[in-house]
Each structure stands twice: as structure tokens, then as C-alpha cells.
Amino acid sequence: MSTEGAMSRSRLLPSLLGILLLLMGLALLAGGIKLSTLGGSLYYLLAGIGLALTGVLLIMARRAALGLYALVLFASTVWALWEVGLDWWQLVPRLAMLFALGIVMLLPWFRRPLLTPDASPMGSRALGAAVVIAGITALASQFTSPGEIKGQLDRDSVPGMTNTAPAMPDGDWNSYGRSAHGDRYSPLAQITPENVSKLEPAWTYRTGDLPGPNDPGETTAENTPLKVNGMLYVCTPHSQVIALEPETGKEIWRFDPKLSTQKAENFKGWAHMTCRGVTYHDDAVYTSAEQSPTGAASTTPASTVCPRRIFLPTADTRLIALNADTGKMCEDFGDKGQVDLTANIGGFTAGGYYSTSPPAVTQNLVVIGGHVTDNVSTDEPSGVIRAYDVHTGELVWNWDSGNPDDTTPIAEGQTYTRNSPNMWSMFAVDEKLGMLYLPMGNQTPDQFGGFRTPESEKYAAGLTALDIATGKVRWYFQFTHHDLWDMDVGGQPTLMDLKTADGVKPAVLASTKQGSIYVLDRSNGQPIVPIKEIPVPQGAVEGDFTSPTQPMSDLNFVPPVLEERDMWGVTPFDQMLCRIDFKSLRYEGMFTPPSLQGSIVYPGNFGVFDWGGISVDPVRQIAFVNPSYMAFKSKLVPAAEVAGGPGRKSETEGVQPNKGAPYGVILEALLSPMGLPCQAPAWGYVAAVDLTNNKTLWMHKNGTVRDSSPVPIPLSMGVPSLGGAFTTASGLAFLSGTLDQYLRAYDVKNGKQLWEGRLPAGAQTTPMTYTGKDGKQYVLVVAGGHGSLGTKQGDYVIAYKLPD
């Protein structure tokens, strides 16, 4: 082989890399020019020039390429440290690719064709130094934990504080939040921080309820089962109820309501198929003054047909009463066991109105709200709250926030106020105070409020306390004024007695999408933790307005305002595109108004906290929370252009029509071209709050990208979670709602993860715990996946226990 041929072949690799660097440089240069015209960073423009010139020099086999690349890598390292410091995941898109290419260029077989025997080695030495500096930076970042708080709770109890939730057997879980107080706290202590690592599956049951071809929308499994009456009660996305044996998972009975689709198969994308839970009622609890939560026996006679009953809300707008022992419909309730919830609400798009959450139940009433599909039109069903006689199904009172003072049962032929704010989440109940607590939504459409009524403005996006007996408003507190961001209150309010500097107070804690946890005296609605009105961005579209201020609690997990440097990606290229997207959108911090330009909504409409709520330990006086951080973007579309748009695919895809309003809206997560969040991780945490001083005890990123990245590598980046947690007297917390398929256990004192169990599907649910007849404590989770989040779907109910 000739010397010339050998030399030509040896230069092939540098030439190929040169072509690659030239193309990379041109791409960064083009994007950098765009970003700079938007007022963004000049780095990408300059780095693009540097990489392109390096590529040209490599193609020409010039040794100066090494020195120039060294300059690019060193400058990039300095720039990265200036922007984000020693944050590993922020450094990855800025330096990882450049670092790897630098190592390749240092290899002897790569450098040799570029150097003559008498060539100066300065270029390779400079590149070696730049690689070492970048490597040391990466290594140093492994010892930092940006965004995390390390701490330790130093107590097992607060003197004098006990669990004051309604009494039940320690081993039961008889309400969605375990008790009507929504505390998600169990007094069980058999499973402890010391032995939880030994947990193993006890049994698995498959419901058989999987997404079907004729489902009207996304199938989402969000159920928390009940354990009461010696059985487990599970509900499925298609509103089936299944009673299981708690110790074995053996099916005892099953009820299938035979859903009517209301022709909703013609309206795919308009509705969800979900059932968060059912509600249990036992007449014996209320006929005995000793057992009654109020301390007084009910004067209402017990049912001879169904003394113990399960109340089931269905996806086809019914409320059904079932015999809790047999699963048969209670013939004495409503029309042979069911009440038609379409009564008096007027017309609606198929699938656009039904109850996704369990009703509340008291000694003689079952009370229910309803889900109204967002952003369809300005003429949607009422958000009325209705109370029915627990035995007969007769309407006792109705509270319509559009007509709040008249709670007398509506007359036949009349219609509740159209489009009044609704309550789609879970109630909390204090029977001793005689109050129901309603986490309120808002009047649709969410992003345009120019047509809202004074009544809807008054009660929307806050907490309303109703008198149980009459439905009259006892007090209310609004958490978002003139909500234009879908900041409805999603989580079940949590009731507990709270030790304060002014003595023990009956508190209600409301977690919210914007990150504030509002702590009010539940007897009168007065703040226990200070709430301040803060100035917020102004400038709504024509025909609308913004509130000058918004209320923020001193107890909050509100994230810092996003900056361009917070934009993220796997490579410099998708990070650059995210930065271009960021600079192209309107963003002035939280509560930036929706716009025709497009606005960033951060926190997004999945919120910092959504329907999973929070869990409290009333004895230790702490709250266990799982905040998530995902930015969204909203863009208003003039009504004349809506018809020509891509159309609605779901509540977060396509153009939401908002028929009757001057604007439709496009709602999307702020994602990179690779489908990952544009803002830097972590996107999800677990944390604990000391409720005696409202300080965050500890906060750790939580979850991996194993089930949401193209390559299933369990990188611990901290991922969003949808669903809640529970805590136990032994000092444990359990959470399953993360985007990866795990149920995890944590030490509530320091947040250390003590155990995880791999699940066969997504578990965007709230797990629960109970004791079986065998005396064993079980931890149970429903793993069925979530259509909106795209997690793996299934039909699993899985129980864990310690080995025998």
C-alpha cells in the first residue's frame, strides 16, 4: 500500500468527525441566531461558530483543530458553571456531548494524522487540560443535591396531640382518605422502618377491566379501595365494584352497572373513564350514640333492606346504592337502587358530565358533586352539589354556586344554573361541627373569564364550607382570584387538630396546584398560617381582566420563577430549541395571563399538588407531600380560527373549542422535541413539613425515568407523581403515583427510601393499608395506568405483607 493511500485512510476518521462537527456547528449557529434575536443567550451562536470552524480544520487535517476545540470545551465549561453551578443534570446537555467528543479527539490514532513529527503538542495538551477540567466539574457535581433539603425529625409525637379523626377499627380503611377527615393516616405499626425492606407480594388480583375500543375517552385508574365490613371494595374505570377477601384477594362479589355510553363513542377525547372510589355507610354507626361521630344517635330508622351500603358514582351519570354484603342494588334507594344525576342539569355533550370521585356520606345524607369537561363551551352543566337521603334517595338540598342562597330542592322542570363552578374532587366532613368542605373548581372555560358571573367568581378556585343539614354556606375562602390557569382545588381537604402558639385549633389543610398549602380554622375559615396577597403579572386579552394580586400561603412549595438557563434537554440542540420556545412565549412568572402569543403556565395545570392531596401524621404533627413541577403552555386562538385548527383530542391535546367564548385555547406541556420536559429536573419530590412551625423538614427528589424514557434506564432524576400517599403510626409513608412503576416506602423522619416494589403497570392512585383476619398488616395498591400520562395500563390489585 502506498504511503499516500495509508495517509488518506488514516485521515478518514478525522474527516468524518469534521463533517459531523461542521453540521453540528451550523445547526447551533442557525438556532443561536434565532435565540439571540429573541434576546436569549449568545452562547449557541458562538459555540456554533467554534464547532463549525473546528470541523473545517479537521476536514483539512489541521492540528489547529485540537486547540480550537479545547477553547470551545473550556469556554463551555466556564459558561455552564456560570449558568447552573454544580448541578449534574443541568451540566449534562451543556457538556456531556462535548466532553465525549474531546476524549475521542485525544486518542492517539485520531491525533496522529493531524500531527507531523515536529508539530507542537500544545493543541493536544490544551485539549487534554480542557477535558480534565470538564471531567473534574462533572465529578464535583456528583456531591451536590440542588433543590434538595436534608433534615431529620427528632420526635415521635407532640405532647398532647392525638388522632382525632372519626373512630374506626385500627385495621380498617373505611373512607377514601381512610376517614372522612381525609388524613390518609393509619394507626397500624406492624410494618416499621426496620422491617419494611422485607415486604413481599401477598396476592395479586386482576379485575379484567381494561381499556376498550368504544371507550369515550382516556381510561384512568385512580382508585383507592376501602377495607371495611370485612371486605375490600374496589371500583374500576368502567364503574364496576368488586368485593374481595382482604387476606387472599379472592372475589366475593362483583357488580357491573352495564354502563350506557350515552353515544359517547362519537365524542372520543371529550371524557375520562375513571372511578376514584366508592363510599361506605353503616346504619349501625349512627343508631348508636356511642359509635356516632357526633356523639348522638340518629333519629332516622335503620334500613331493613340495606343496613350497610356502598354508594357508587358511575361514568354514565348515576348514583347507585349497593348492599355492601351482597353487591345487589338497594331497592329502597331512588329508582330501584339508583338516582339519575342528569336531572335538572340540562343538556351536555356525551361524556361531559358525571362524578369521578366518591360522594360524602353522613348519618342521613349522601352528598355528591360532578366533573364537568373543561373548555368545551360556555354552556355546560351546573356544578351543583346535591344531598340525597341516604336511605330513600330523595333530594334533601342542593347547593348551586350560581344560586347559592336557595338550597331548597329544585322544582320539577327547572334547571340549575348553567356553567356554575363545580366540585369534582373529594369532600372532607366534620360531623361534630356539622360541615362539609368543598374543594372548588371554576367556571369553564378555564383560560378566558370575561363572561363569568359575580357568583361564579365568588366561590371558584377555593374552599367552601357548607352546613351538612341545610347545604347553606357557613364560610368560604378563595385561593385563586379570577382563575385563568385551571387552578381548581384538586386535592381532598385534610382535617386535623393543629398545635399552634395560640393553642390547639381545628384545622383544614388545602393543597393546591399553585403550590400553596392553605391552613385555615375549619370552624370559621380564618387563616391559621398567614396568607399574603402578592402582586402578579397583568395584561389579559381584550374582553378579560386579571386580578392585581393573588393569595399565597406562608406554607408553600411554590417553585422559583423560571429563567432561560432553566431550560433543559438531553443534548445542546434540544436544550437550545427549548430556550427558543421559552423566549418566544410570554412569561413573567406565576400567573402570567393567557395570551395570543402563547404563555407559560408554571406550575402547570397538573399542579404542584393535584387530586392526590397530602397525608398528615396528627401525632407527630407533620405533613407528607409529593410536589411535582411541570411547566405547561397555553395559547389563545381566536374563535374564527378554531374551526380550522387540529381539533380537540383530549383535555390537554389539540384546540379546546370554548364554544361561545371569543377564544379557544391550545394547552400543552412544555416539552422538548424529544418529548422530555423543557425545564430542568428534578420534576418530582417527596417532602415533609413540620406543622408546628411550617418549615420543610426534608425534601428529596423522587422516582426514575425508567418507564418514560426511550432507553429504560432507572436514572434517579425525580419524576412527577399523580396520586397521594399515606402515613402510618410506625413512621412510614407509602407512595405509588410516580411515572415509573413502583410502590415505595419512606422514613417520615428523614425521607430515606426504605423499600420499593416493582409494579406491572402505572399506579397513579393512592395506596392504602389494612389488617386482615389473620392479624397481618397489608399494603395495597391498584396499578391500572393513566391514559392522560401515558403510563402502562393494566387491571391489577396488589397486596403486600411481611413474610410469615
Active site residues: 486
Distance CA 657, CA 660 (A): 9
| Cβ neighbours for 476, distance < 8 A, ≥ 6 positions apart | 458, 459, 462, 463, 464, 465, 525
> Across the strands, what pairs with 747?
732
Which residues is 271 bridged to in the sheet? 217
Which cell numbers hold the place of 743? Answer: 410502590
Q: How far apart are the first and last CA of the chain?
A: 75
Query: Within a 13 Å sphere around the CA of 168, how many CA atoms are in the beta-carbon half?
Result: 26
Kindly tell me the sign of the dihedral angle through the C-alpha atoms of 496, 499, 500, 506.
positive
**By the 8 A CB rule, do 287 and 297 touch?**
yes
- Residue identified by cell 362524578 is 355
Q: Say how far apart CA 748 and CA 186 lie, in whole Å.
A: 13
| β pairing state of 549-553 and 531-535 | antiparallel
Coil/strand/helix, residue 190: coil
Contact (CB, 8 A) for 512 and 590 = no
Name the nearest CA neighbour of 322 among 231, 384, 395.
231
Largest CA distance in the chain: 107
Of 653, 614, 445, which Cα lies nearest the Cα of 541? 445
Q: Which of 306, 302, 300 minimizes the C-alpha distance to 320?
A: 306
Whether omega for the bond prior to residue 712 falls within 30 degrees of 0, making it cis, is no
Pseudo-torsion of CA 213, 760, 207, 362, nearest 10°?
-110
Q: At what angle do helices 43-59 and 572-584 cross, to 10 degrees?
A: 150
Q: Which residues contact 737 (CB under 8 A, 6 or more apart)?
A: 612, 626, 721, 722, 723, 724, 725, 763, 764, 765, 766
Alpha carbon distance 389, 362 (integer Å):
10
Q: Which residues contact 123 (CB under 8 A, 6 or more apart)?
A: 63, 64, 65, 66, 67, 70
**728 with 186: CB under 8 angstroms?**
yes
What's the CA gap between 800 and 223, in Å, rounded? Answer: 17
User: DSSP readout, 640-681?
Assistant: HHHTTS--EEETTEEEE--BTSSEEEEEEE-B-TTSSBSBPS
Q: Which conformational region is residue 33 in: left (phi greater than 0), alpha (psi within -120 to 50 degrees), or beta?
A: alpha
**Which residue type occupies 169?**
P
The three cell numbers of residue 616 are 398528615
58 contacts: CB under 8 Å, gap ≥ 6: 14, 15, 17, 18, 21, 65, 114
